[in-house]
Structure 1
Amino acid sequence: MFKWFKISLLALLLAYPGLTFGLSGEDGLHSLVVGTKVAPPFAVKNDQGVWSGMSIELWREIAADAGLSYEFEERDLAGLLEGLQDGSLDAAVAALTITARREEMMDFSHPFHTSGLGIAVLADDTGGWLQVLERFFSPEFLKGVGSLGLVLLLFGFLVWLFERRKNPDQFGGGVLKGIGSGFWWSAVTMTTVGYGDKAPASLGGRLVAMIWMFAAIIIISSFTAAITSSLTVSRLESRIRGPEDLARVRVASVPSSTSAAYLEREHIAYSHYPDPAAAVAALSAGKVDAVVYDLPILRDLAVNGDGSVMVLPKVFERQDYGIGLPAGSPLRESVNRILLEKINSPWWDDILYRYLGTVR
């Protein structure tokens, strides 16, 4: 009963903003209860209990323009969602992402920021020499070696074809032995080792040898460059380069979050942590290999951490952030109108630059 009385009273206050302060007495009966949680850079709480952050600053501007009296109540993510559903919260202001599933249970304001999911890894997570060895046994590398072997066999066969009668001492002794000798000759010629134990004597064999010498210079140069580049990249790159690598490493995330929903949808197992800060701490301690969560929050934790963690540049799974409201909330229309005015003003550019280091 009190819940519907409160909603009706809020509708009246929004229709006549001037009444708000007059009806908000010292008992705070008509003060809104706004849920929030620590989620830098959206919501930050200092040692004195004072809140700041992108979402908090935006809500303060909206409340000031609408003439709303409110008080913050800290909860975890599950508590924020439950509070919006049971009506114990009049709004939720943090890093709430708008999803179809949540929209079925509550209302949201228009989005005020768009980003996506990100992946945090150890800054020096290059895989070491194990990854180098993996490159040598990768399908791409083995395919290249196999192709080179076929070229060596081809030129070895051609030399044997011309030399098998003219030069039987070096390329004779049966088909397999002769072709094997040709293969050996093409290999040492390509590598410029040239032991001198075999050399073509016929005109045709020497023409094949001349063609192969020039071709081998190009092939060995390209092959050497490819190997060097592959090994260098493997030493500099993280062994986790994007969401496609998550299935084979230890992943951490926060239950009931959109990042957890993504991992579950992709059938990627993950360790549960109460908040992203705890997950990143586990990453720094080597308990997990990657943390999947909202990109802005991971970046904030990495920038303000000890430098052991970095966030991959790849962004995936678009995220729209909004202010959570109970279903049918009379606040929605007023909040949306003021929110759109604020995020399309220079003031919002200043907020984005202060908390994210970027503007639109």
Structure 2
Amino acid sequence: MKKLLTIVLTAALALSLTAMAQAKKIIVGHDTNFMPFEFKDPDSGKYVGFDIDMWTLIAESLGIEYELQPMDFNGLIPALQSGNIDAAIAGMTIKSEREKVVDFAYPYYDAGLMILVRSDNEDIKNLEDLEGKVVATKLGTTSEDFVKKNAKAKDVSLFPNIDGAYMELATGGAEAVLFDSPAVMYYAQTAGKGKAKVVGPLYMGQSYGIAFPAGSELREKVTIEILNLMESGKYAELYKKWFGTEPK
């Protein structure tokens, strides 16, 4: 009987530990193409970038098992609300409309919006010059809200991925792209080098945050880990790896 009881208790403990391990595994949504924060490496086929690396450090420190779920940016908040994902890291701007329905951890990146034009364009130098022009940006983003409210554009072309906006600019379908500063600067220095340039000042300073379903217990834990990364110097190392400079 003692042996049988030991076997039963051992089996029960094993099942309990397995259940706990499974419970720890979370689904983390991220954007499919937002360089240099997240994008698919053509060689490995895996998603890489600043956001991916930072989440890896956070999860390792917290002992969280997770699965990355790439998806269109404008589907992330609905997925958080419905419980289909447990967190979202996608260069997501913290703004009041979003904070009404999801919770954000401590801001991990300060950015803004900038204008990208073709390298031979001398007509567009600032927001006022977008009047009467076709401007491309990404669907469901702060950039979309800003350009519609503040630029007197003839038309705003929206794309599920920012690569579509860059292509529209390159082929002449749009005269400018207005989007997040780190993304447009990265594009101008890499795939768009010699073909596109950034013009004008930084508009609408904003911060990115990792989002969670309202009331998630993970938010506070992740906030603490973000602060730990910043205090330990690991955040600065990661920042320099992807942006080439020290964080401001």
Same fold by TM-score greater than 0.5: yes
Amino acid at match of 2:203: F
Matched, 1:40 2:35: yes
Matched, 1:123 2:119: yes
Q: How far 1:288 sits from its partner (Å)?
A: 0.8
Cα–Cα, structure 1 residues 110 and 291, in superposed 2: closer, same or farther, change >3 Å?
A: same
State the 1:20 CA deviation: 8.4
Q: Per the alignment, in what secondary structure is the counterpart of residue 220 of structure 2?
A: helix
Residue among 256, 270, 273 paired with 2:156? 270
Deviations 1:218-245 (A, max 9, x none): xxxxxxxxxxxxxxxxxxxxx1111121
Give 1:92-171 correspondences, 5 Å limit.
Answer: 92-126=88-122
SS class of match (1:314): strand
Matched to 2:30, the amino acid is T
What is the alpha-carbon distance in structure 2 between the residues aligned to residue 311 and residue 67 of structure 1? 41
Give the structure-1-normalised TM-score: 0.60
**320, 339, 344: which is aligned to 2:231?**
344
Aligned: 1:284 with 2:177: no
Which residue pairs with 1:325 in the alignment?
A: 212
Contact 1:21 1:69 in 2 (8 A): no
Question: What percent of counterpart residues are identical?
Answer: 32
Look at both structures and tell me which one has the larger radius of gyration over its CA atoms.
Answer: 1
Deviations 1:236-283 (A, max 9, x none): xxx111112112321111121000011222264411122111101111
Residue 69 of structure 1, aligned match among 65, 71, 74 = 65
Unaligned runs of 5+ in 2: 1-15
Unmatched segments (≥5 aa) in structure 1: 1-18, 127-238
Q: Do the aligned residues in 2 keep the contact of 1:120 with 1:309 (CA within 8 Å)? A: yes
Tell me if structure 1 keeps the 8 A contact 2:125–2:200. Answer: no
Instruction: Kindly indicate whether the alpha-carbon contact (under 8 Å) linking 2:73 and 2:90 is maintained by their aligned counterparts in 1.
Output: no
Distance 2:39 2:238 in 1: 14
Q: Normalized per residue, which structure has more strand?
A: 2
Could you tell me which residue of structure 2 aligns to residue 23 of structure 1?
20
Q: Please identify runs of 4+ aligned residues in structure 1 that moved more than 6 A.
A: 19-22
Query: Deviation digits for residues 42-71 of structure 1, max 9, x if unmatched?
Result: 112213332221111111111111110000
Q: CA deviation at 1:86?
A: 1.0
1:52 and 2:48 aligned: yes
- Bigger shift: residues 66-75 or 249-258: 249-258
Deviates more, 1:250-259 or 1:269-278: 269-278
| Cα pair 1:122 1:284 within 8 Å, conserved | yes
Q: 1:82 to 1:343 in 2, by over 3 A?
A: same
The alpha carbon displacement at 1:313 in A equals 5.0
Determine the structure 2 residue equivalent to 1:172.
none
CA RMSD of aligned residues (A): 1.8
TM-score, normalization by structure 2: 0.86
- Which structure has the highest helix share of the two? 1
AA matched with 1:336:
T
